Chain A
Amino acid sequence: AQTVTQSQPEMSVQEAETVTLSCTYDTSENNYYLFWYKQPPSRQMILVIRQEAYKQQNATENRFSVNFQKAAKSFSLKISDSQLGDTAMYFCAFMSYPFSGYALNFGKGTSLLVTP
């Protein structure tokens, strides 16, 4: 079974600053993807960024980037130039393929507060 651990239940950052959210995972699978999802107070789940495990290059999406360390099984999310709209719960998720139904295995989440 895969486990996903987010060790920071809550974090706070000032607007325009940079913050890094941590995620580690445990798996014996070779084929997998990693994701970060954002859940604002509206409760909608929004995909932030995705990383294919076979790619060494770290994924980036505008102000969001990841630091993927495959050997260490670490997948952290960096948010640059934080904005008030980034306030949300952030979930790290793991998906192996082609088995297990391409289902997501989530961490418990990190609540991020961006302050003015």
Chain B
Amino acid sequence: DAGITQSPRHKVTETGTPVTLRCHQTENHRYMYWYRQDPGHGLRLIHYSYGVKDTDKGEVSDGYSVSRSKTEDFLLTLESATSSQTSVYFCAISDPTGTGRNNEQFFGPGTRLTVL
């Protein structure tokens, strides 16, 4: 299994509080991703990173920020959590080439976040 961990695995928080989720990899992959999974929506991209300090927005980035200060860590922050951000959050990593080869994404175990 690819070395990807997510912390915490479960979190319950209240509306308006800041929350940070951490993704840690030991594979030295360049690309890291944050997705959220909601019933009826599949997985949707929040943000991704293509290197240290290089990040870009995904489909559902509003209300989220990210940071990547080291190759192995990718943080997702909810500055002020809302109930609509209750979801399961997945981190993924990959190391694709320019032709897209080696493009398999390896997923972490997920974090279940509940915002009350």
Interfacial residues, chain A to chain B (CB-CB below 8 A) = 4, 31-33, 43-45, 47, 50, 52, 91, 95, 97-98, 101-109
Contact = CB atoms under 8 A, between A and B. Distances in A.
A33 B92 CA distance: 17
Nearest to B45: A103
User: Taking each of A43, A45, A106, which has the highest tally of chain B beta carbons within 10 Å of its own beta carbon?
Assistant: A45
B111 to A, nearest CB: 10
Contact of B43 (A47, A91, A98): A91
Interface string B49-73: 0100000101000000000000000
Contact of B56 (A31, A98, A101, A108): A101
Contacts of B40: 108
Given A97-B99, A98-B100, A102-B31, A43 B88 contact: yes
A10 to B, nearest CB: 12
Contacts of B48: 101, 103
User: Taking each of B50, B103, B104, which has the highest tally of chain A beta carbons within 10 Å of its own beta carbon?
Assistant: B103
Interface residues of B, number: 27
Contacts of B33: 101, 103-104
Contacts of B41: 108
Nearest to A50: B104
Nearest to B57: A101
A102 B94 contact: yes
A66 to B, nearest CB: 16
- Top 9 nearest A-B pairs (CB, nearest first) are A97-B100, A45-B107, A106-B42, A108-B42, A102-B96, A106-B43, A101-B48, A103-B45, A98-B98
